[in-house]
Amino acid sequence: MSTTLDAAQDAAIDSAAPVRILLSLPGIHCAGCIASIERDLGHHPGVESARVNLTLKRASIDVSPGVGADELVERLDRLGFEAHELDPGTLSRGAGDRQERDLLIRLGVAGFAMMNIMLLSVGVWSGAEGATRDMFHMISGAIALPTVVFAGQPFFRSAWASLQGRRLGMDVPISLAIVLASGISVYETFHSGPHAYFDAAVMLVFFLLAGRYLDFRTRAAARSAAQELAALEVPRASRLDPDGEHEVPVADLAVDDLVRVRPGGRIPVDGVVTEGTSELDRALLTGESLPAHAGPGTALSAGEVNLTGPLTLRVTAAGEDSSLHRMADLVATAENARGRYTSLADRAARAYSPVVHLLALMSFIAWMWVSGGDVRLSVNIAAAVLIITCPCALGLAVPAVATAASGKLFRGGMLIKNGTALERMAEIDTVVFDKTGTLTLGTPEPTNLDTLDADTSAVAAALAQASSHPLARALAARLTVTPAAIENVAEVPGYGVEATWNGQRVQLGRARWVGAEPEALTAAYLRIGSAAPCALTFTDRLRPGAEAAIAALRRQGLSVRLISGDAPGAVAALADRLGIEDWRAETLPADKAALVAELTAQGRKVLMVGDGLNDTAALAAAHASVSPASALDAARVASDVVLLGQDMTPLGQALRTARVATRRIRENFVISTVYNIVAVPIALFGFATPLWAALAMSLSSITVALNALRLK
């Protein structure tokens, strides 16, 4: 009996436990946005806490059971923030954060130990002899050995994995040098030798960890773009059953089920409208800047947004079979293909590592023969050769330059996310732009309001304020006249808004609905009574710096193309304005990815610049990719570079910097090679102890880093 009561109590507690809802907030950009959203959500009934992450552009909200994501999205929409629900089940905390924290801890331990051991070494170098010297060596060993074991684990694990795979990676000579320096030092300490090289061993670990951390910071991408796309799928839907409407997981839906989608909600499945009319925002999937009409028989895709009227859909595909999920698969495939790209440093290390081991072995054999079997001397010289030829400078060649270039571009408004992005961007010969939200800001601007008389402007302002349509919002924002006093206001889903003014019927909406012939340009149509309808035309506002960026790309001899899901008239007008001769309109996401694949097959190195879900497959498939900060999470994650501000001018500078950075990388390879040509013979002939070898190796690393800093 008590067991049953306990179970009932546990169930009651579980049912009352707060539920966590995750929302994507692609439009936030400052601390003010965070404060506004957290404060507003905190006033919503049932919200226990709300926290916004500006970096991820995501809100985490703990709510009481019964509070739905739809009402939170609607509240944020009224506040002026775009929001999309994320499925927390598909988002896991990445191992990347743990790896970065692990490297940073090991780097800190190695740095602290190195400073203390160097203080003790100063005492030895100053002339400490006998028992004092041995004591300093023992204290150094007591600090160094645990440090090497702990801080050197990333290299030891990697080296062991390489040996198990029967290959010699860069970490094999590194690990061997660390072990030899430590082993020789222990031997020298217990035999009261004049030299111990604990400082060399820890110094090696510290500099190598610094290089590894820089490399990780420049290469790390926060999350998989395919994972972000999957998280944007709607996790629940309202299914219409014989006994009423029920909210169920999308995974439980089957073909031919009926689903209800309310205004403001995202379409959870692929389906066909059976009842209702509305407007659809398809910008996420197709790039269309204007809402599309939806009525009975219209085929809809998962991820589209229902704007104005309730719709009933008959499911044709759900879950893994939906178009949104298939797009995620496209992105995952493209990401995997690009992930096989090998950096210059990795390629050089394949040939370099065997040479390092061979030189060390040859020096040991030669000195065993020359010294008449003096193992101690031979091992010391072999260790010095191994340390002095340690590929530390080679390991820093790429990340040092990438970090310097990333800092320069960051100050100019570009964030480099991928360690090999600069190398790939330096090879670019073709740039493909998306239109809406990339070259333009995705916000319609009225173009002919100055032709309206006072009464017409007042009626237009009143009708525009009564509608949630994007064109109506743009009109309401630009019309500064006092709105007319209208009555009987009604929004007709899928068509427009109508009312009565001075006893006359007034309408604002689609051309056919008000009795007008559609214009070639983007337009809303206003009719007052029996007067002829007038067209209120719009253009999409050009992104600042777009013309300058395209001019800069042309000066660099690059081919520029425009591809968009928008209507041909709008795309042609923008292409003519920017002087882009090669353009395509009404393209689907698969068409964009296909164009990139086609250009790649022709031997072109393509830079894709886009901002929406419809661009993610093309962004991931391109040789390199850029997205603006206003892009959706999935597009930013799929891209190599993020444009931090609205201004697109830094794009041309980014490609120039990439070419200079690649030159610096090659110079660093030359520096590393020249260093080895000079230093290796010195070690081979026995003129360098392991400590001096470690100092020389560190000098080469510093030289490489200083050369990289010339980028600034």
599 pLDDT band (50/70/90 cuts)? very high
Q: According to the model, what pLDDT value does residue 97 have?
A: 58
pLDDT at 42 over 80: yes
Alpha helix ranges (H) inside 448-538:
454-465, 470-478, 511-514
pLDDT mean over 318-330: 68
At residue 227, the pLDDT reads 54
Question: Are residues 75 and 47 in contact, defined by beta-carbon separation less than 8 angstroms?
Answer: no
Q: Select which of 434, 566, 611, 640 is catalytic.
A: 434
448-494 confidence digits (pLDDT tens)? 888 888 889 999 999 998 887 778 888 888 888 889 999 998 888 77
Residue 1 in domain: no
Q: Is the pLDDT of residue 289 over 70?
A: no
Note if 611 is an active site residue. Answer: no
Residue 701: the pLDDT is 72
| Residue 649 pLDDT > 80 | yes
- Clarify whether residues 520 and 548 are in a common domain: no
In which band, very low, low, confident or very high, does the pLDDT at 95 lie, cut at 50, 70 and 90? very low
Amino acid in position 43: H
Beta-bridge partner residues of 537: 523
- Confidence tier at 505 by pLDDT (50, 70, 90): very high
If asked whether residues 450 and 530 sit together in one domain, one would say: yes
Range 95-104, long-range pairs (CB < 8 A, 24+ positions): 96/220, 96/221, 96/222, 99/216, 100/213, 100/216, 100/217, 100/220, 102/154, 103/154, 103/209, 103/212, 103/213, 103/216, 104/213
The reply to whether 145 falls in a domain is no
- Condensed to tens digits (0 to 9), the pLDDT of residues 631-643 reads 666 666 778 887 8
Please write the tens of the pLDDT for every residue from 519-569: 767 788 999 998 889 989 887 778 888 899 999 999 988 999 998 877 687
What pLDDT, on a 0 to 100 scale, did the predictor assign at position 314?
92
Neighbours of 349 (CB within 10 A): 21
- Checking if the pLDDT of 8 tops 60, the result is no
Token code pair at residue 436? 């809406």
Rounded percentage of the chain residues whose pLDDT exceeds 70: 78
pLDDT higher than 50, residue 4: no
Domain boundary among 27, 54, 86: 86
State the DSSP H helix or E strand holding residue 626, giving kind and residue range, or none if neither. strand 624-628
192 CB burial (10 A radius; 0-12, 13-18, 19+):
exposed
Tell me whether residue 367 is in a domain.
no
Number of domains in the chain: 4
Instruction: Check whether residue 242 and residue 302 sit in a common domain.
Output: yes
Q: What is the predicted pLDDT for the residue at 684?
A: 84
Look-up of token digits 């993610």? 616
414 bridge partner residues:
643
Amino acid, res. 211: G
Other residues' Cβ atoms within 10 Å of the Cβ of residue 53: 13
Is the per-residue pLDDT at 65 higher than 60? yes
In this prediction, residue 194 carries a pLDDT of 73
Q: Is residue 29 part of a domain?
A: yes
> What residues form DSSP beta bridges with 292?
280
- Cα 161–212–165 angle (5° rounding)? 15
Residue 693, pLDDT > 80, answer no
pLDDT beyond 90 at 499 = yes
Q: What is the mean pLDDT of residues 371-387?
A: 79
pLDDT given for residue 504 in this prediction = 92
* Residues 529 and 593 both lie in one domain: no
pLDDT at 346: 55
Q: Tokens for 99? A: 């790896």
Q: How far is CA 280 from CA 86, 119, 286, 299, 650, in A?
A: 20, 70, 11, 11, 34
Question: Do 582 and 634 belong together in one domain?
Answer: yes
Give the structural domain span for 486.
443-541
Greater pLDDT, 419 or 269: 269
- Mark 103-137 as b/e (b = at least 16 C-beta within 10 Å): beebbebbbebbebbeebbeebeeebeeeebbebb
C-alpha distances in Å from residue 385, one per residue of 137, 156, 189, 388: 23, 20, 21, 5
Kindly state whether residues 434 and 447 are assigned to the same domain. no
With a CB cutoff of 8 Å and minimum separation 6, the contacts of 370 are none
Highest-confidence range of 173-182, 259-268, 505-514, 643-652, by mean pLDDT? 505-514
pLDDT, tens only, 128-138: 677 887 788 88
| Domain edge (last residue) among 272, 304, 321 | 321
Question: What is the mean pLDDT of the segment spanning 303-308?
Answer: 80
pLDDT of 704 strictly over 90: no
- pLDDT tens across 174-225, in order? 788 788 878 888 887 887 777 777 887 888 788 778 767 765 654 443 344 4
**In the listed set 513, 541, 569, which residue is the last one of a domain according to the structure?**
541
Contacts of 73 (CB under 8 A, 6+ apart): 23, 83, 84, 85, 264, 265
Output the six-digit token pair for 558: 């690059």
Pairing label, strands 534-542, 440-446 = antiparallel
pLDDT higher than threshold 50 for residue 17: yes
Question: For residue 376, is it within any domain?
Answer: no
Q: Are both 293 and 238 inside the same structural domain? A: yes
pLDDT computed for residue 351 by the predictor: 63
Looking at the DSSP bridge assignments, the partners of residue 555 are none
pLDDT at residue number 2: 43
**Using CA of residue 290, residue 296, residue 300, residue 305, what is the dihedral sign?**
positive
Instruction: Pick 177 or 619 by higher pLDDT.
Output: 619
**Which stretch of 302-306, 596-600, 619-623 has the lowest confidence by average pLDDT?**
302-306
Tell which wins on pLDDT, 666 or 563.
563
Helix (H, G, I), strand (E, B) or coil at 217: helix
Q: How confident is the model at residue 430 (pLDDT cuts 50, 70, 90)?
A: very high
CATH number for 55: 3.30.70.100
**CATH number reported for the structural domain that contains residue 505 in this entry:** 3.40.1110.10
149 pLDDT higher than 90: yes
150 pLDDT band (50/70/90 cuts)? very high
Per-residue pLDDT band for 5 (boundaries 50, 70, 90) equals very low
For the chain, the average pLDDT equals 78
Q: What is the CATH number of the domain that holds 438?
A: 3.40.50.1000
Residue 530 lies in a domain: yes
Letter for the amino acid at 385? Answer: V
- The answer to whether position 492 is within a domain reads yes
Residue 337 has pLDDT above 70, yes or no: no
d(CA 623, CA 149): 40
Query: pLDDT band at residue 158, thresholds of 50, 70 and 90?
Result: confident
Query: What is the predicted pLDDT for the residue at 280?
Result: 82
> 341 and 335 in contact (C-beta within 8 Å)?
no
Mean pLDDT: which of 191-200, 253-262, 281-290 is highest?
253-262
Query: Do residues 477 and 435 share a domain?
Result: no
The predicted structure's pLDDT at residue 14: 43
Are 434 and 549 members of one domain?
yes
Residue 3 is predicted with a pLDDT of 42
Bridge partners (DSSP) of residue 524 are 536
Res. 418 pLDDT band, cuts 50 70 90: low
- Mean pLDDT check: name the lowest of 1-15, 305-319, 395-409, 669-683: 1-15
| Whether 315 and 275 share a structural domain | yes
> What is the pLDDT, as a whole number, of residue 632?
63
pLDDT at 613: 67
Contact at 8 Å (CB) between 529 and 500?
no
The answer, yes or no, to whether residue 507 has pLDDT greater than 80, is yes
Q: Can you give the pLDDT at residue 147?
A: 93
Cα torsion for 295, 300, 303, 304, to the nearest 10°? -30
Looking at the domain assignment, is residue 531 inside a domain? yes
Residue 272 pLDDT greater than 60, yes or no: yes
Is pLDDT of 348 > 70?
Answer: no
Q: Are residues 648 and 558 in the same domain?
A: yes
Q: Which of 246, 260, 269 is nearest to 316 (CA)?
A: 269
pLDDT for 286? 53
- Here the CATH number for the domain that contains residue 257 is 2.70.150.10
Q: Look at residue 94 in the predicted model and tell me its pLDDT.
A: 45
At residue 420 the predicted structure's pLDDT band, cuts being 50, 70 and 90, is confident
**3-state DSSP call for residue 244?**
strand
Query: In this predicted model, which residue has the larger pLDDT, 434 or 403?
Result: 434
Residues 546 and 646 in one domain: yes
Instruction: Identify the pLDDT of residue 134.
Output: 79
